[in-house]
């Protein structure tokens, strides 16, 4: 395992912890490494039930990653209306949706060649 993979694995673990801490739903990890010309190595996708919960997930992910890895997102987009917030950690991009917006855009199907791992939530 390369250093980059180890860093991505740790980052994903802390992202998932942040999502689970505020009861984010339907967590999927898309491994994009086998696909040519992708913008990153992984997508982590989840959804919340309201704009309040979407913002709580974003804040929880930032807190978890910052506290454990001393890392912060390179860019965050979409916080204003909190229907679809994108958090760019360079190698890992986190998409936090409201459920109906996630169903509408269905980005998992756009990346049909990606290996998808679904995370079972504990609640």
Q: What is the pLDDT of residues 92-121, one digit of tens each?
A: 999 999 999 999 999 999 998 999 999 988
Residue 8: which CATH number?
Answer: 3.30.460.10
Range of the domain at 24: 3-119
pTM over 0.85: yes
Residue 88 bridge partners (DSSP): 75, 93
Share of the chain above pLDDT 70, in %: 94
Number of domains making up the chain: 1
* Other residues' Cβ atoms within 10 Å of the Cβ of residue 107: 14
* Burial (0-12, 13-18, 19+ Cβ within 10 Å), 87: buried
Reading the block at residue 24, the tokens are 């984010």
The per-residue pLDDT for range 11-22, each reduced to its tens digit, is 999 999 999 999
């Amino acid at each position: 395992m390369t250093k980059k993979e180890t860093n991505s694995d740790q980052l994903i673990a802390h992202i998932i912890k942040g999502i689970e801490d505020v009861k984010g739903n339907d967590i999927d990890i898309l491994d994009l490494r086998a696909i040519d010309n992708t913008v990153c190595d992984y997508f982590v996708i989840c959804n919340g039930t309201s704009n309040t919960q979407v913002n709580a997930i974003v804040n929880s992910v930032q807190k978890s990653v910052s506290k454990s890895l001393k890392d912060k997102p390179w860019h965050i987009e979409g916080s204003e209306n909190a229907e679809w917030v994108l958090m760019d950690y360079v190698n890992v991009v986190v998409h936090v949706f409201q459920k109906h917006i996630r169903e509408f855009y269905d980005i998992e199907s756009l990346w049909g060649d990606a290996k998808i791992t679904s995370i079972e939530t504990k609640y």
